[in-house]
Amino acid sequence: MKRFLSALTILLLIGFHASAQLRIYTPTMKAPLNGAVDQMPNALLNWNAVSGQGTEILYEVQLATLQDFSDAVTFPEIMVTAIETSELLFSQTYFWRVRASDGIATSDWSDPWSFTILQTVNITKPANASVQNPDPLLEWTKISGITQYEIQVDTAYSWRVEGSGQTKTLHDVFVVDDLTSYAVGADGTILKHDGTNWTPMTSNVTVDLFDIYFTDANNGWVCGADGTLLQFDGTSWNEVASGVTKDLNGLFFLSATEGYAVGNGGTALQYDGSTWNSIDVGLTGDLNAIHGLDANNLVVAGASAKSSIFNGTSWTTYSSGNRDMLGVWMLSPNQIWASAKAGRIYGFDGTGWTEQTVGNKDLRDVCFLDDETGYMVGRSGSLLAYDGAIWSIVASGTGSDLNGIYLFDESKGYLVGNNGVVISYQGDGFNSPYLKDYIVGAEELSFRLSRLAFGKSHYFRMRAAHQQSVSDWSGANSFTVVSNPVLKTPANNTAGTVLDLNLTWEKITGIVKYNIQLDTDPDFTDPLLFETGVETYEINNLIFGTTYYWRVNARHAGGTSDWSSAFNFTTLDCVTLNAPANNAVDVTRLPRYEWIEILGAEKYMVEVDKSPDFTNPEVHIAESHMFQQVYLLEKEVSYFWRVRAIQGLDTTSWCSAWSFTTKGETSIGEQNGNEFKIYPNPATDQFQVYFEAGTSRNATLEVYNMIGSKVHQVSLAIRPGQNSEVVDISGIKSGMYFIKLLMKDKAYTKRLIIE
């Protein structure tokens, strides 16, 4: 009996062990990764398959917005190891888990994982602060699981560029109250805003000023290069001894009688209401910024991500990376933000600093209104906004470097930067009568705007939507539409242009027509008007030796651009001679006069004379930029020639005359008319030429009309002795012509009548 019970026990243990080995396992999850962000509203939940005792494995998935799954949605059981969600809420964090069943047993739930749906659309083009045509193309990164994109375009936005009246670099700004603000910058610049305009104030220094701080309307401080400190007493700025010569970069005051200044080489000063005294914050590198909450909570930030935090008793130093911290802001002892070089952002949580990168531009200053509203500014117009969760790039409206920021409240504040740029905070924006709204299909990744206002800064933002949720608006991007066409050719102040020329300018897309004005008056009091749809226009019938002014604007259905800057050009007033070269010798007695063609000229007048004063010239008219001398000139005689162009009743001035000397060649035609003969004369379709040659050589026979234009040419291969050649003239119309035979250094001419 004992033996039987023992055997039964062994069998039961074996069966139990086998059953334990075959129980179904809990699935392990694959994607989205735990804690993943920027997921699509149709996120795909994916896990690894498991095996069990049954023949069919089913999976059950739960999705919740609460970590305890008290609001969970349970999906119907499925056989596959993935499930696609739909219409999840933007910016929402979800928790999910999965378990498996084989019909015999059900596994435990997997450990829950979380993921967060993306917040908004990522815009990729056009580049922020770029210059665009009136029809820019917007592009963005695809979001799946949505039904549409929404786009807003406006000329009104949170930030508006305004004139400061300065071109010097501005380093910092401070808002005292609703009507009073100050900005400081290079070369001792101090500006005051009275609610309407920025006006310069006298600083009595010429060094660069880097930071400014006010405790009330009658108590303000400025720090700058070489240890400079200036105090404002309600009326004027006065220099105060700092006791140091290092550059002072940052200021912070708790009251009119308690303040701090930091600078290069670990310089740190404390103000007690009457004097500035050095203090040790534990850092020796350059210090760029200081901020705090009260006398027991201060933070200093500087070079190579070095910082020091004061707790009321002592300073504790931190080293957080290798990028210079340039600005710092303390919201609480457990929440501090620092802006740094190369797009680095440092955040302090009470224990240590963490680093993140947004873009690659130096971030030079930081300011917060509260723990959910903060901004950083930096190089090339960089502006970042913080919403309590993430930092994102938004439009500043400028491409100039931004160096300082100060926000007074939700509707007032300023950014300042290079070239005297000042940008004021305007609130939400996207609320002007110009506002344009567009809806774009979910499959589109681009949208071309049209008919935007010339010369205006435009701001645009996007969001995505499906039936259950609408994303946040993206951060606004900005671009400026071109103000006017840019002229190209002829270049401004061009001299010696032809009468027929093409005006060209840079292309602007998204327009209907260009308008051109041309005038001899720079004020365009009575211009000629032209229009075209392309970036060039041919101007004809200009006057010799005249200065013309021209400009172009563009138009579309939404408006007309400004006129371009005016260019001017001056037309030719003289013909440029080419050949025979000036002072040439041994020139053939039947020379061809050549000059540079003037486009738009109808014809040319040529004068040839033995006298440089042209007292008794031969006068010829040519229809092209050459004329063939048809009568033999005298041997070894100097001749002078000049040309002027003719257009209607207008002519150029005579150019400077050129001279040449003929050679002493002997013409067979002069010695013996029988040695060069033409028969018949008059001729109709052909004639025969007879001539004598001493050696074998090549010759050319040319036919000229009465104005010197060559109308026919034949190459001849001649032999010693008497030669005879038939010349076909069937293609030449009736009239009188000159036949010229050219043989080495000899020339022969005859007149021929063609009937």
In a domain, residue 414? The reply is: no
User: Per-residue confidence at 698, pLDDT binned at 50, 70, 90?
Assistant: confident
Residue 378 CA to residue 342 CA, distance in Å, equals 10
Looking at the fold, whether 653 and 672 belong to one and the same domain comes out as no
Looking at the fold, whether 380 and 294 belong to one and the same domain comes out as yes
Extract the runs of DSSP E, i.e. beta strands, from 9-140.
Answer: 29-31, 36-39, 44-47, 58-64, 73-74, 82-84, 93-101, 113-117, 123-125, 130-132, 137-140
CATH number at residue 713: 2.60.40.2550
Q: Say what the pTM is.
A: 0.67
Domain finish residue from 347, 372, 407: 407
The answer to whether 478 and 396 have CB atoms below 8 angstroms apart is: yes
The answer to whether 92 and 471 have CB atoms below 8 angstroms apart is: no
CA distances from 113 to 61, 107, 416, 566 (A): 12, 17, 45, 66
Residue 345 CA to residue 384 CA, distance in Å, equals 10
Highest mean pLDDT of the ranges 89-103, 700-714, 721-735? 89-103
Looking at the fold, whether 201 and 320 belong to one and the same domain comes out as yes
Residue 645 CA to residue 655 CA, distance in Å, equals 10
CA distances from 690 to 177, 721, 722, 741 (A): 108, 11, 7, 11
Looking at the fold, whether 474 and 493 belong to one and the same domain comes out as no
Q: Please say if the pLDDT value at position 332 is more than 90.
A: yes
Residue 446 CA to residue 126 CA, distance in Å, equals 11
Share of the chain above pLDDT 90, in %: 71
Range of the domain at 643: 577-662
Q: Which residue has the tokens 């710092």?
A: 328
Looking at the fold, whether 316 and 222 belong to one and the same domain comes out as yes
pLDDT digits (tens, 9 = 90+) for 405-425: 999 988 889 999 999 999 998
* Alpha-carbon radius of gyration of the chain: 45
- Between 465 and 698, name the one with better pLDDT: 465
In a domain, residue 418? The reply is: no
Looking at the fold, whether 245 and 370 belong to one and the same domain comes out as yes
Q: Please say if the pLDDT value at position 639 is more than 70.
A: yes
Looking at the fold, whether 379 and 320 belong to one and the same domain comes out as yes
In the DSSP assignment, the letter for residue 6 is H
Residue 575 CA to residue 603 CA, distance in Å, equals 12
Backbone angles phi, psi at 390, to 5 degrees: -135, 160
Looking at the fold, whether 234 and 267 belong to one and the same domain comes out as yes
In a domain, residue 303? The reply is: yes
In a domain, residue 17? The reply is: no
Residue 682 CA to residue 674 CA, distance in Å, equals 17
User: Per-residue confidence at 745, pLDDT binned at 50, 70, 90?
Assistant: low
Looking at the fold, whether 363 and 290 belong to one and the same domain comes out as yes
Looking at the fold, whether 304 and 170 belong to one and the same domain comes out as yes
Q: Which residue has the tokens 């083009």?
A: 125
Looking at the fold, whether 111 and 247 belong to one and the same domain comes out as no
Domain finish residue from 662, 693, 711: 662
User: How many independent structural domains does the chain possess?
Assistant: 6
In a domain, residue 415? The reply is: no
Pick the closest to residue 476 from 162, 156, 161, 163 (CA basis). 156
pLDDT value at residue 681: 85
Looking at the fold, whether 511 and 467 belong to one and the same domain comes out as no
Q: Please say if the pLDDT value at position 617 is more than 70.
A: yes
User: Per-residue confidence at 17, pLDDT binned at 50, 70, 90?
Assistant: very low
Residue type for position 138:
L
- Between 275 and 13, name the one with better pLDDT: 275
Three-state secondary structure readout of 632-648: CCCCCCEEEEEEEEEEC
Kind plus residue range of the DSSP H or E element containing 670: helix 668-671
In a domain, residue 625? The reply is: yes
In a domain, residue 566? The reply is: no
CATH number at residue 185: 2.130.10.10
In a domain, residue 423? The reply is: no
CATH number at residue 444: 2.60.40.10
Mean pLDDT over 95-120 rounds to 94
Residue 445 CA to residue 438 CA, distance in Å, equals 14
Residue 22 CA from chain centroid, whole number? 67
Domain finish residue from 646, 662, 678: 662
pLDDT digits (tens, 9 = 90+) for 622-634: 888 998 887 788 8
